[in-house]
Amino acid sequence: MSDAADFELLLRQALTPVDPPADMSERIEGTLVNLTEIAADELEAWELSAMRDPRNWARPAAAVVVGTTAGAALVVLRARQRRRRARPHGVLDAAEQALKDVYGEARKFLPKS
C-alpha cells in the first residue's frame, strides 16, 4: 500500500500546473514579427526574372509559407490578447468581437492604397 501512496504522491507532484513566464507572450509576438519581416525581406529581394527556372522556387515558396504562417499566428495572438482584456457577454458577442479583432489585426498587414 505504501508503494501506491508514494506513486500517487509522485504523480501529484509531477502534474502540478505551471504558469508560463510573464514575458512569454511578448517573446512569441517578437519572434512572429521577426519571421514576418524576414520573409517579406526575402520576397522583396527576389528577382522576378529568376522565376523562369523552377530550381529557384524553393526560397520564395518557403518565404511565402513562413511569412503567411507567422502573420496569421500574429493576428490570432493579438486578437486573443484583446479578447482577454475585454470580456464579452455571451457566445454571439464573443464571436462578433473575435471577428472584429481578427479583421482589425489583418488590416494592419495589408498595404494601404
Model confidence pLDDT, tens digit, residues 13-63 = 888 888 878 888 889 999 999 999 999 888 888 877 777 888 888 888 899
Provide mean pLDDT across the span 71-93.
Answer: 75
For residues 64 and 113, what is the distance between their CA atoms, to the nearest angstrom? Answer: 22
Sort 83 into a burial class: Cβ within 10 Å, 0-12 / 13-18 / 19+.
middle
Residue, of 97 and 70, whose pLDDT is higher: 70
Helices (H) and strands (E) in the chain — how many of each?
4, 0
DSSP for 48-93 reads GGGGGSGGG-HHHHHHHHHHHHHHHHHHHHHHHHHHHHS--SSHHH
For residues 33 and 56, what is the distance between their CA atoms, to the nearest angstrom? Answer: 26
C-alpha cell at 23: 514575458
**Considering the chain, what percentage of its residues have pLDDT values greater than 90?**
16
0.75 surpassed by pTM: no
**pLDDT tier at 101, thresholds 50, 70, 90:** confident
Report CA torsion sign: 61, 63, 68, 69. positive
